[in-house]
């Protein structure tokens, strides 16, 4: 496993609804530029090795199927 792996809930590329809490089961949208084309909708306890520590971005529509929010970063 990569040393860079981390959970979405602590990643700067995770984008959630404006009023959502940061929890394992909160649904968000991955806005990492290489993953964006896949419109990956993922919970806070998901993760990958594109992880970068930070606070989530926020935008309305981030939890929809598929995500309807524009990436904020």
Structure tokens at 27: 């649904």
**Could you list the residues that contact ligand SF4 (CB under 6 A)?**
6, 8, 11, 13-14, 30, 32, 35, 42, 46-48, 50-51
Nearest distance in Å: CB 37, ligand SF4: 13
Task: Give the DSSP H/E element, type plus range, for residue 47.
Answer: strand 47-48
Which residue's CB is nearer to ligand SF4, number 19 or number 53?
A: 53
Shortest distance (Å) from residue 7 CB to ligand SF4: 6
d(CA 23, CA 46): 11
């Amino acid at each position: 496993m990569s040393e860079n792996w981390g959970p979405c809930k602590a990643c700067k590329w995770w984008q959630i609804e404006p009023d959502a809490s940061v929890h394992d089961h909160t649904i968000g949208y991955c806005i990492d530029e290489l993953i964006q084309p896949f419109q990956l909708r993922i919970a806070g306890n998901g993760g990958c090795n594109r992880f970068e520590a930070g606070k989530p971005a926020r935008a309305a529509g981030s939890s929809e199927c598929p995500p309807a929010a524009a990436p904020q970063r």
